[in-house]
Amino acid sequence: MFSLVGKTAVVTGGGSGIGQAISKVFAKAGAKVEVFEMDEAAAKSTVAEIEADGGRANWRKCDVSSEADVRASIDAVVESNGGLNILVNNAGIASIGDAISTTEEEFDRVYSVNVKGVRNMLHVGVPKLIASGGGSVLNMASTVSLMGIDDRFAYSMSKGAVLTMTYSVARDYLNDGVRCNCICPARIHTPFVDGYLDKNYPDNREEMFEKLSAAQPIGRMGKPVEVAYAALFLCSDEASFITGNAYPVDGGTINVR
């Protein structure tokens, strides 16, 4: 079950955190994984770990906010692998601030990666999926796509857009063999969380870590691999009847409060 043997998967932001976990799980399931990443060292580390475990992977430097960059990278993937079967739009950046404190520059920065970046990947990638006989798109949304939290104005905007783009793609390409879903994680323990705590709470880091963990009803943060296994299911043939859905991987954050 959940085999991806014979499939080519692109994972944006696959060098660390959730993207790295998805890349490794997909490779373990048999996919050839193409990591799109701006951080060369992180990308090479992910590819090395996959290959050391017997998997197949490659990485390409790609700025998802540039349509030209995306087109060149996806064209190279298709040329190298003969097609594209899975597209995971995971790359994204965070932002802290409300409607008053968020500057125009900050808003545009978040939009360029989290919204335009997903748009670019869909615009270029979906035709390749169709040409390959269909496939699966998985977008990384967030619990903030579905609920409000403090001081995440621009980030929430961007993830709300990811959710509605998911619905649109699922509807528009239903008859082309393309499924499109998104995952809505709550707080996941990634390097970003550690960096955020180190920067903002150096004197009471452990206390804040516990506070952030307790915000999930289950009492802890999620692990990147827990999101990756949900991604594996949604991109596998076992999920062939599932499209246009948002899957919370959230420790009960949305519905168990």
Please tell me the distance from the alpha carbon of residue 34 to that of residue 47, in angstroms, as a whole number: 9
25 neighbors 14 (Cβ within 8 angstroms): no
Q: What is the DSSP letter of 239?
A: G
250 neighbors 187 (Cβ within 8 angstroms): no
- The catalytic position among 155, 173, 196, 201 is 155
Please tell me the distance from the alpha carbon of residue 215 to that of residue 117, in angstroms, as a whole number: 29
Number of H-type helices and E-type strands within the chain: 9, 7
Please tell me the distance from the alpha carbon of residue 217 to that of residue 176, in angstroms, as a whole number: 39
User: What's phi and psi for 65, nearest 5 deg?
Assistant: -75, -10
**For this structure, is 155 an active site residue?**
yes
74 neighbors 80 (Cβ within 8 angstroms): no
**Active centre residues (catalytic):** 155
